Structures are given as structure tokens and as C-alpha cells.
Amino acid sequence: MWHTILQPASYKDAGFEIENMDERNGKALAEHARPFVNGIDLEDMGTTGREVQLSAVFWGKGYAGRLKKLLDKLEERGGGVLVHPVWGRMQNLIASSWSYRHEADYADFSRLDVTFREATEAQPIFVFENHFLMDLERIIEQIDTYRAAGEGFIDALTAVMAQGQALRGSAAGLWSVAAGVFEAVRSLFDLDDVRFTSRGGYSQKAFSAGFPRLFDDLGEMARTGLRQSAYLDRDDKGGAGVRQCYDAAAAKADAVSGLVADMGKGRLKDGVKRQVETVGLMVRLITDVALTEVAADLVGANSETMTAPELMHINRDMRLRFQTTLEGLRQTDGAGMEDAVYEAEEAVRQTASRLNALVAAAINQKPPLLVRAAPIDGTVHQIAHEFYGDLNRAEELVRLNPHIIHPAFVKRGTWVNLYAK
């Protein structure tokens, strides 16, 4: 039944009720007319972009405040997410025009007519053909897609729970588990409790809007905490290498997942166990997004100095995490969740593919790797001079040869990894 899957309408998180909607799209056609030829050659240039016209209604106590909130969002620059009651999240829509009116016969009531148009960013005419930079840009875009798919999954679950379906336990139980995880994650990363304020008790009215917002804050806490752990926002990394920075962030991501797993230990009722598993899957989605962003930033900033084993270590670890998340999504069931689960699964697969392409591009931009025996007894600087004629490449040899324990003394005949040039 179509009315059972309707989602609460909103634009840039400002909710409203809808009386009716009209939607249209069309083709952008270039016409090429030729002399003395009947008819016109039409060139298909793509679509003109979706246009959504809707009538939002506000009534009852406090209606003016809700109307003002939406009007403020409409006046903001740039596009935003329109949550369509049937189609769900529609990305990058801009309010092109709107009008609203009050009538004397209807007290505490107003109708707002809005036209939204889909915006598409202009593509560059000239593209600099650097495969690594292109793959880096693609993974950054895919991270945003992954984040949006995770938000869509959480929104769909919230809508199902708000309708009173018990496939994942009660809404109150989910709220309790999620609020507990929120407090634990904030404490784990030692984050500001003013910026990330504690959540109150459960109420049916607060659940629909508050549950997704709670996970938005959880995602921001995970992103902030993992970036701190990887020293990404600090110039002084305390002597830690790229792999150590990634491993530190990955350990924190595991600690976040462990917080949820600890709640599921012991003898619990089936309903409580399902609630913990559901929250655990949502937490894994947001930590995967945050850790993928950390991995992409580390590779992007250090691709010239990272070795192939370091790059493959990051890629291998992330692929294992993606596989675990996919297994959790495949076990998700329930009416109204099918599209959200599918989109989340596709986002995970695409993110894994993009990260793999980025790592491959980073490895391929390096010269071929050779293995040669050290020609003399000496320091790694002397070995660098023998191979390259350049003492300054000693640090590069140290990174490529973690098996060399004492760089100040390398025995003649020791097998050394080095670049061909």
C-alpha cells in the first residue's frame, strides 16, 4: 500500500505537511535546421532537471514558527536535500520561487506554494589527465554518496519504527541504546559536551526527528575523533608514520563498534538483542564513512612517500570492514526497508571499488620496484649514494626496507628494495 511507505516531508531538515505535489522533467534538445530540408535534426543534450511543485500547509498552535523556519531555509543560498514523501531523499534541489497566504476565514492556518528545481554542477571543459588525482576526486565524491546512503538507511528505519512496526524491537528501546552509544562515543573521543549535547528521554513525537539527528551528531563525532586519532588536523604527528596514523584511527573505529558490542553481551531478551544489533549496524555505517575519509586523506596527502605495502595494508583493512558491513545489511529485513538497504549496499560496493582504484593509481605512479644486493658495508646514506648517487634518498630506502633494523650499518649483500629511478 503506497500510503504505508510515505516519509515525513522536509527541506534542509525543516519539516512540513503536504497537501499536493506536481512533478515534471523533460529533455534538453538542440535543434539543427538545414536549408531546403523538411524537418529538424534534434540532438539529445540530456534532461532539463526535475522540477517539483508542492503546496505545504501549516496549522494549529505554533504554525507561524514552523512556517518561518521553512521560509528561512528557502532563502538560504545553495541547494539542499528535499525529502519527498514517496521518492525519499532528493539531492541538491534549490527553491526557485515560493508564495504563501493567510485567509481571514481560516485562523492559525497558512498555505505555502514552492517550486523546487534540481541543480547539476557544471563539469570542467578541460580535464587534467592525472589518474591519481582523478581517482582521488572520485573517492571523495563517493564518500558523500556513501554518507547519504547511510542517512537514507537511518531515515527509512526511523520511518518504519515510527509506524509502530516491531521488526527491530521498540522505538523506545532503540532510542535508549542509541543514546547510550552517543554518550560513550563522546566520552571515548573526549569531545565537547556543549557542542554534542546529551539526548533527553524517549518520546514518540521526538523520535521521528530526533533519531536521525542523533546519528548525524554521532557521525560528526566519529569523523572528528578519527581525524584526531590519525593526526590529520595537526602538523606535529609525534613521529608517527602514515600506517601508524591509519592504524590508530582504525583502532578507534573498532573501539566505537566495541562499545555497541559490549551492550549486547550477556543474557538479553531477543527484542533487546535486535535493538543492539540494529544500532551496531548504523554505527558501523557511520564509522566506515569516517574511516574511509581518513584513508583517502592520508593517501592523498602522502601518496609520494607511501610505500606499496602501506597502501595495500590500508586497502586490505578497509575491504574487510566493507565486507562486514555488507553482511550486516544483507541480514536486514522488514517492509519499507528494501530500497534503503539496496542503496546502502551499492554505496558500500562502489566505495570499496573507488578506494581500490585510488590505491592502484597511487602505486602505479611510482617507478618500478627492484631488489638488489647492497654493494658495500655502510650506512643507508652510503647505500643510497651507491644506488642513486643521491644521499637524500636514504629516507626513501628506510621506508622501502622495514627489515633493515640498523640503518647505520647495512651489511654487504643484504637484499634492498629500491625504485628503478
Q: Is the pLDDT of residue 117 over 60?
A: yes
pLDDT confidence of residue 13: 87
Residue 187 lies in a domain: yes
pLDDT confidence of residue 99: 94
**Boundary of a domain, candidates 343, 364, 385:** 364
Within this chain, do residues 245 and 184 fall inside the same structural domain, yes or no?
yes
**Parent domain of 97:** 2-28+42-118
Residue type, 75: E
Q: What is the pLDDT of residues 150-189, one digit of tens each?
A: 888 888 877 776 665 544 456 677 777 888 888 888 889 8
Question: In sequence order, what DSSP letters do the residues of 239-307 get, joined into one string?
Answer: T--HHHHHHHHHHHHHHHHHHHHHHT-SS--HHHHHHHHHHHHHHHHHHHHHHHHHHHHHHHHHTTT--
Within this chain, do residues 238 and 203 fall inside the same structural domain, yes or no?
yes
Among 184, 5, 179, 196, residue whose Cα is nearest residue 86: 5
Within this chain, do residues 200 and 172 fall inside the same structural domain, yes or no?
yes
Q: Provide the β-strand partners of residue 113.
A: 55, 99
Write down the mean pLDDT value for the chain: 84
Within this chain, do residues 110 and 170 fall inside the same structural domain, yes or no?
no
Within this chain, do residues 139 and 114 fall inside the same structural domain, yes or no?
no
Of the listed ranges 71-80, 314-323, 335-344, the one predicted with least confidence: 335-344
**Boundary of a domain, candidates 66, 93, 118:** 118
Whole-number Cα distances in Å, 322 to 97, 317, 329, 350, 356? 42, 9, 11, 10, 12
pLDDT confidence of residue 162: 63
We report the CATH number of the domain holding residue 100 as 2.40.30.200
Q: What is the pLDDT of residues 203-213, one digit of tens each?
A: 556 666 777 88
Within this chain, do residues 24 and 164 fall inside the same structural domain, yes or no?
no
Q: Is the pLDDT of residue 140 over 60?
A: yes
Q: Provide the β-strand partners of residue 109.
A: 59
Residue 231 lies in a domain: yes
Within this chain, do residues 224 and 344 fall inside the same structural domain, yes or no?
yes
Residue 34 lies in a domain: no
CA distance 206 to 200: 9
Within this chain, do residues 377 and 413 fall inside the same structural domain, yes or no?
yes
Largest Cα separation within the chain, whole Å, is 98
Residue 142 lies in a domain: yes
Q: What is the pLDDT of residues 45-99, one digit of tens each?
A: 888 888 999 999 999 888 999 999 999 999 998 888 898 888 888 888 999 999 9
Check: CB of residue 356 under 8 Å from CB of residue 299.
no
pLDDT confidence of residue 177: 80
Mean pLDDT, range 385-409, rounded to an integer? 86
pLDDT confidence of residue 49: 87
Q: Is the pLDDT of residue 135 over 70?
A: yes
**Boundary of a domain, candidates 364, 386, 408:** 364
Within this chain, do residues 388 and 316 fall inside the same structural domain, yes or no?
no
Check: CB of residue 41 under 8 Å from CB of residue 32.
yes
Nearest 5°: CA angle at 318, between 315 and 323?
A: 125
Within this chain, do residues 136 and 94 fall inside the same structural domain, yes or no?
no
Within this chain, do residues 338 and 394 fall inside the same structural domain, yes or no?
no
Domain count, the chain: 3
Q: Is the pLDDT of residue 299 over 60?
A: yes
Among 113, 92, 110, 90, residue whose Cα is nearest residue 102: 110
pLDDT confidence of residue 202: 52
Residue 37 lies in a domain: no
| Helix H or strand E segment including 370 | strand 369-373
Q: How many CB atoms are closer than 10 A to CB 389?
A: 8
Within this chain, do residues 92 and 180 fall inside the same structural domain, yes or no?
no
Residue 36 lies in a domain: no
**Cα-flanking dihedrals φ and ψ of residue 56, to 5°?**
-100, 140
Check: CB of residue 19 under 8 Å from CB of residue 56.
yes
Residue 381 lies in a domain: yes
Q: Provide the β-strand partners of residue 44.
A: 29
Residue 304 lies in a domain: yes
CA distance 212 to 193: 19
pLDDT confidence of residue 52: 93
H-type alpha helices, 163-269 = 171-189, 204-229, 242-263
